[in-house]
Each structure stands twice: as structure tokens, then as C-alpha cells.
Amino acid sequence: MPTELAAPEVATRELSYAEAIREALAQAMEADERVFLFGEDVGVYGGAFGVSGDLLQRFGPERVIDTPISELGLAGAAVGAALTGMKPVLEIQFSDFVTLAMEQIVNQAAKIHFMFGGKASVPMVVRLPGGSGTGAAGQHSQSLEAWFAHVPGLKVVQPSTPHDAKGLLLAAIDDPNPVLVFEHKLLYKTKGPVPAEPYRVPIGSAAVRRAGRDITIVAASIMTLRALAAARRLAAEGIETEVVDLRSLRPIDFATIAKSVRKTHRLLIVYEGVKTMGIGAEISAMIAESEVFEFLETPIARLGGADVPIPYNPMLEKASVPQEDDIVAAARRLVLEGIA
């Protein structure tokens, strides 16, 4: 029987996703005085979602900095600090507000290492709480990660578990290049095993969360959890699902995806961002352009967000992004009927 492959059981204690991020920040700041956290309400308030907590009391206002409301200015400050030897971690209060900082992230941070002939690097991290499900409507609920995965020079990660939230953030802080960490708001209270000591989850490595033989579901962030829940329901019907958690959108671990598809011969890609021109389209193209395409017995299926702004109404909000029932139906259709 297939099994769900959990994070390594190095420690028995459990932390929430938010606590794991806070611990990563604290350990990075303890280990390297160049690391500092800044953003709107990260200090006295403890973060809009309570992630930074008591870091201000532990490290002081010079390393946990409350800032004015100016995302473009904050991103520019992060670029400048990184260029002068610091290791800034910038929190954008809602990922939607990163639209105001696009120039500094896309035109400056992403390009400086290349345009300076490798003589400069920008070791900055941008933390981005995103996703729907909190009733925050169209301007506070988007999933914009595919935008940044399109940009050479940027790395983009989406942890789905507390274990990976800590390990990927520490890896991002170590990285000499700019890394965007998209944290789903609904995951902050989820719990899981997290080792107490510092550790790194390599950027660019996917994880097989559940082994199966009939269909591969590729997902990331909260969609990984929904895919696992769907896989348990499908197993009761005799459909054994392999779930691949991307963890990293750029670079992407195509080898792990390809290995799974060679085994199952079917592929469903699930993501919260708008379906059109989303990460599912890129993975589909990568499969179609490779020898793995010959292993497919059915068309590739994409299950993404609807082409609408996220609604405020709770029922419409749920309908605008894939839910567990949608994943079950799409996988069942692909396995039993052979249609996307």
C-alpha cells in the first residue's frame, strides 16, 4: 500500500508553521549579525499574522525594524543593504502588495549579479504571506508566485509544512541570490514535526509526499495538503495517487516530477494561482518537450484558479480556487475516463 512520506523524524516536538518561521529567523539572527528583519508591523505588533512574535524583544529595534508603508522603498532598501554586505529579510505584509515593489525586485535585485559580471550579489529574502481563504477579497488574497518564477535571477519557494518552512527559509537566508518565500496564510496555524537545531531544505528539490501507482499529482503550498487529503479519498476507490510537493518553483525539480510520471503515466497539476499561464502550463510544457511525454497514457490535466479576482463572498471565494473535492473529481476523471 502507498504511504504518505512525512518530514524526517529528527525530533518529536511539533511547531506551527508560523513558529517554525520565527525559529528560523531567530537562529539565523543568532548565527549571523548581518541578518535582520524589517517590514510593516514586524516589531511591536509582532507581525500582521503573528509570525515575528517576540523577535523585537530578543534582538532589539536595530535588527527587527518597523517601517513606513512604502513597499517600493522597502525593497530598494533591501537591495542596498544586501549589496553592502547585510542579509536583509523583508516581510511584505500581504503578498499582493509586492506589486508596488516590482521594479526593485525584478529590475534590480534579479539582475545585478549578471549585469555586474558576477562581482556583486544580492543576498536578500522577501517573505510573502499569500493565498485565499481568509475572506480578504481581491486585493489581499492573490497567488502571484508564477510572476516571479518567470524572472531570471530570482528563486521562488513555497513551503507546505512547518518542517520545510524553517528549512527553506534558512536555505534562502544562506543563498547569495534573492529568494522569494511565499507563505500561505492558511498554513500559519498548521502543525508538524520540526527539529530544534538549524537545518536546510535545499532550494530546487521537490518531495514525494505520498507514493502511488495510478496518477501523479504535482502541487505546492496548501495545495499539497489538499492533494494529500484527496489522495486518501481516492485510495478508498482503489486509485493510488502519488503526490509530489514542488517546494521550489524556481529552480524546479523536474527530475522528481519526471520520475513519478514515468511510473504512473498520468499527471494532474494543482495550483492556486490563476490557471492561465500559471505554473501548470510550464510543467506541462516541460513534460511535452521531454521523453517523458511518451510515457503518458492520458492528456496532462491542469487544475488552477479561476480567471477572476478572488471574491469576498466565502462560497465564491472557495469556488475560485481548487478545493479537495475538485482535486478528487479531476483525478478520478483522468484515471477512469482518460480525459483532462
What digits encode the pLDDT tens for the residues 58-96? 999 999 999 999 999 999 999 999 999 999 999 999 999
What is the mean pLDDT of the segment spanning 287-291? 97
Tell me whether residue 337 is one of the annotated catalytic residues. Answer: no
Q: Residue 34: what pLDDT? A: 98
Name the catalytic one among 113, 140, 163, 184: 140
Q: Please report, rounded to a whole number, the percentage of residues in the chain having pLDDT higher than 70.
A: 96
Supply the pLDDT for residue 318.
95
Options 1.10.600.10, 3.30.200.20, 3.40.50.970, 3.40.309.10; CATH for 15-193 is 3.40.50.970
Mean pLDDT of the chain: 95
What's the pLDDT band for 11 if we cut at 50, 70, 90? very low
71 part of the active site: yes
Question: Check: CATH 3.40.228.10 for 207-336?
Answer: no
Place of cell 518597523: 66
With beta carbons less than 8 A apart as the criterion, state whether 85 and 124 touch. Answer: no
pLDDT at 6 > cutoff 80: no
Identify the pLDDT of residue 1.
41
pLDDT of 3 higher than 50 = no
Q: What is the pLDDT of residues 211-267, one digit of tens each?
A: 999 999 999 999 999 999 999 999 999 999 999 999 999 999 999 999 999 999 999
- Per-residue pLDDT, 278: 96
> pLDDT at residue 320 above 80?
yes
Domain residue limits, the chain: 15-193, 207-336
Topology agreement, domain 15-193 and domain 207-336: yes
Catalytic residue among 19, 23, 40, 71: 71
In the prediction, which pLDDT does 5 show?
55
Q: Which three cell numbers stand for residue 46?
A: 509582532
pLDDT tens digits along 145-197? 999 999 999 999 999 999 999 999 999 999 999 999 999 999 999 999 999 99
**CA–CA separation, 260 vs 283, rounded Å?**
13
pLDDT average, residue stretch 138-150: 95
To the question of pTM greater than 0.85 for the whole model, the response is yes
pLDDT band of residue 35 (cuts 50, 70, 90) is very high
Q: How many whole angstroms from its chain centre is CA 45?
A: 25
Using pLDDT thresholds of 50, 70 and 90, give the confidence band for residue 339: confident
| Mean predicted confidence (pLDDT) in 4-10 | 51
In this prediction, residue 340 carries a pLDDT of 78
The per-residue pLDDT for 2 is: 45
